[in-house]
Chain A
Amino acid sequence: MSDHKLDLWKQRDARIRKALAFEPVDRVPFTFLGPAYAPRSQGMPFSTFCTDADAAVNVTLDTLDSLDDVDGINMMVAGLFPVHLTNQWLSRIDIPGRELPDGDIWQVHEEAVMSVADYDMIIDKGWPAFLDYIYPKVHKPDLLAKHNAWMQENYADTGRRYHERGYATLCSMITTIPFEALCGARSMTQFFFDCYRMPAKVKAALDVIQPFYVDLAVQVTNISGIKSCWVGGWRSASAMVSPKIWNEFVFPYFFDLITKLHAQGILCVLHFDQKWDRDLKRFLELPKGSCVFAPDGATNIRLAREVLGNHMPLLGDVPAGLLAAGSPDDVHKYVRELIRDLGPAGLIMNSGCDTPYNTPRANMDAFVAATHEYGTCAH
């Protein structure tokens, strides 16, 4: 590792740590998140990105290099991306070069691969037994084997590859609550109906699954040495479900997961898509410093700051639609106003969710440039 890159990594990592701690920063840090943007911007076919883990890491590093002095990556790319998605949502993924033309983006199938009767399997036989049963329905066996072999051999060392290039790694793995996995396996529509029609059975299954999610997050972050993880919220968002469902099947599981990870010294980045305004105040119940709130542009991020104060730093939230369809001036203005209203302390600049693959380069440059221009602080 060159001294220069080592210094850069330390400097950037320290900047992010300060922002997380609401300490003064020399400038608002910028973390990149764009698993699809990276290969597209570097001219790599999506089929290669989806099936070659080393190529996926390298193209992500090249993308970071191509941006103007960004501080790090939000979620470290490691392993085969479609396999991660399937693990997360227990859904089939169509992959470019296989089910889709090479230039297309991967897509998640919304279909029920789990029946109502399968709740009993989870409850009676346990989550690992259920995964053994469901994986053949959703995974591509060759990709799963390839991914697992790569992770076994390379995952523990992947963070170092980013650090050697001078980049901080905010998170090294993704976890979520069981609600999200069942939402994928049953399909969102059927799972929501289940929550109304058979709430006791749903809850019994969630209770069986939950400890596995906690243990997995602890194990994986220990292996990577990067003590922070995404805690994803997509279909469990406040706007998606009734308060009754949210209060019974969503928040208690976030609370349990996050407090247990916090006790292990693991920071949780709440990667929350959709709108969470209704329940923002509930996140004050979590330990201070346990989380970063990372909305996608749908949640009112200013309201989040008002409600959460210095209980939780914010990461975000330039919307995907703006990045893909707006002009550089639109992006510049959004970033300027975000930093003006919410920065500089306790703020990390990031796209809201992923940077879309079809973000024009000029918009990406405007995004980074505006962060540096308005986020730089005089001391």
Chain B
Amino acid sequence: MQNLNAIQAALANLEEDLALQLVAEAMAAGVSALELLKACQAGMVEVGARFEQQEYFVSDLMMSGEIFKQISAILEPGLKAGGAVSAGKVVIGTVKGDIHDIGKDIVVNMLKSANIDVIDLGVDVAPAKFIDALKNSGATVLGLSGLLTLAFDSMKATISALAEAGMRDTVKVMIGGGPVDATVCRVVGADDWGADAQHAVRIAKGWLEAAHV
């Protein structure tokens, strides 16, 4: 228990070497991958809280995501064997015509740390590819990212394609990226928009939890 608390704190404090060392020690001592994952997720929740309180900023989110990613890779075999259950699925990508991925990648890491399965389609993603991924995965949340204003047309086209595929009522769409705001959200026809990565996680979690009620 003490080790788990220390791991949680090390992740929340962005102490990369310490967090990795403590995870390795705990694994060697027989602590399960699932327990370790939960401790890390608790650390990431603390990171998110500090971000919302403006104690942490984007670089801190990125660093915490990097630490979480490394630990997740170490824990992955144990988690698969243990049959861990996720909070839901999100398909995400940077829309057609835009090759920027930094903001999207931060959201991906934060979603994963919130125990959400993420199908990350990368950048310059065509509407049809989003639709295929949603159909294949059964995900009910779609995240569209874009840094350039050209992304607005692609977001609109993707949401139209979603409607044409008869999935608009079953899939919630959130958008994000540099120039995205409430006006853009309204114009492209998305359900909500995230001002930052933590905001995006809150939106997705809210939708996924509501779907499970």
Contacts and interface: CB of A to CB of B under 8 A. Distances in A.
B184 A325 contact: yes
A55 interface: no
Interface residues of A, number: 33
Contact of A105 (B63, B150, B180): B150
A192 B62 contact: yes
A358 B59 contact: no
B189 to A, nearest CB: 12
Contact of B149 (A94, A104, A321): A321
Nearest to A278: B54
Contacts of A325: 149, 152, 183-184, 187-188
Given A241-B58, A242-B57, A321-B179, A193 B149 contact: no
Contacts of A320: 149, 178-179
Interface string A270-288: 0001000010000000000
A326 interface: yes
Interface in B150-189: 150, 152-153, 178-181, 183-184, 187-188
B62 A189 contact: yes
A361 B95 CA distance: 25
A62 to B, nearest CB: 22
Nearest to B182: A321
Contacts of B105: 189
A98 interface: no
Contact of A241 (B59, B152, B153, B180): B59
A240 B183 CA distance: 23
Nearest to B187: A325
Contacts of B178: 273, 320
A105 B188 CA distance: 20
Nearest to A187: B102
Given A193-B66, A196-B63, A319-B181, A107 B152 contact: no
Given A319-B181, A325-B183, A358-B150, A193 B57 contact: no
A321 B185 CA distance: 10
A242 B63 CA distance: 11
Contacts of A226: none
Among A107, A239, A324, A325: residue with most chain B CB under 10 A: A325
B148 A105 contact: yes
Contact of A239 (B58, B153, B187): B58
A109 interface: yes
Interface string B3-23: 000000000001010000000
B199 interface: no
A324 B179 contact: yes
A107 B99 contact: yes
Contacts, number: 83
B38 interface: no
Contacts of A242: 56-57, 59-60
B181 A240 contact: no
Nearest to A196: B63
B62 A321 contact: no
A299 to B, nearest CB: 13
Interface in B50-109: 54, 56-60, 62-63, 66, 97-102, 105
A319 B179 contact: yes
B14 to A, nearest CB: 7
Contacts of B187: 325-326
A34 B148 CA distance: 14
A189 B153 CA distance: 27
A330 interface: yes
A241 B56 CA distance: 8
Contact of B102 (A94, A189, A322): A189
B58 A321 contact: no
Contacts of A319: 179, 181
A130 interface: no
A196 to B, nearest CB: 5
Interface in B100-120: 100-102, 105
Interface in B128-152: 148-150, 152
A79 to B, nearest CB: 22
Given A189-B105, A325-B184, A195 B59 contact: yes
Interface in B30-46: none
A197 interface: yes
A71 to B, nearest CB: 25
A240 B99 contact: no
A324 B66 CA distance: 34
Interface string A314-345: 00000111101110001000000000000000
A245 to B, nearest CB: 6
21 contacts: A104-B150, A105-B148, A107-B98, A109-B99, A110-B101, A188-B102, A189-B62, A189-B105, A196-B63, A238-B57, A239-B58, A241-B58, A241-B59, A242-B60, A278-B54, A321-B179, A322-B181, A324-B152, A325-B149, A325-B188, A330-B183
Given A273-B178, A319-B179, 4 more contacts: A107-B100, A321-B183, A324-B152, A356-B179
The 10 closest A-B pairs by CB, nearest first: A356-B149, A321-B179, A324-B149, A241-B59, A320-B179, A192-B59, A325-B187, A240-B58, A325-B184, A321-B181
Interface of A: 94, 104-105, 107, 109-110, 188-189, 192-193, 195-197, 238-243, 245, 273, 278, 319-322, 324-326, 330, 356-358
